[in-house]
Amino acid sequence: MDAVSLARHLRPRFQLDWKGIHGASHWARVRAIGLHMARTTGADPLVVELFAWLHDTQRHNDGRDPLHGDRSARYAHSLQGELFDLTSRQLELLQEACRHHSDGFTDGDITVCTCWDADRLDLGRVGITPDPERLCTPFAQTEATRSLAHGRAVRWAGTRWH
């Protein structure tokens, strides 16, 4: 998987603000903290990376859009063989992570849980401090991981509005 080809594919198709709260900088932060977490949690880094890039691409708005996770799971399936070649298990995990990422679950496969935590750890961009009880993995719940991700999210929000 080549991140440049993926970005070239996604950008013209993304319906929302590329620089917005669900756009590329959010995806990049989810990727960074997700890959950082994967080294400790044992999550599959390729699945985490693809989750980061894809999970919000199918949003129709920046507010309530309860079916965007399901759409992103189907979208991920459509890109298999075109932009990446996952094993059937990796594709299954990617689709599971995408489909349910905004449903509030805290339990599941470690790769899926790492994806969900990476996304939730970036809530500081919209003024929300992630609640450790709503995170899935002990590593995400640590003060060190939360403050690393939250600092990045809050700094982005600060540069955006001022």
The residues binding Fe ion (CB under 5 A) are 56, 119
Please say which residue, 41 or 72, places its beta carbon nearer to Fe ion: 72
CB of 22 to Fe ion, least distance (A): 6
Question: Closer CB to Fe ion, residue 62 or residue 109?
Answer: 62
| Minimum CB distance to Fe ion, residue 36 (Å) | 16
CB of 55 to Fe ion, least distance (A): 5
Whole-angstrom distance, CA of residue 30 vs CA of residue 141: 15
28 or 110, CB closer to Fe ion?
28
For Fe ion, the closer CB: 19 or 89: 19
CB of 122 to Fe ion, least distance (A): 7
Contacts 24+ apart (CB under 8 A), 90-94: 90/44, 90/46, 90/47, 93/44, 93/47, 94/47, 94/50, 94/51, 94/54
Q: Measured from the CB of residue 141, what is the shortest distance to Fe ion in angstroms?
A: 19
CB 56 within 8 A of CB 98: no
- Is the CB of 16 or the CB of 87 nearer to Fe ion? 16
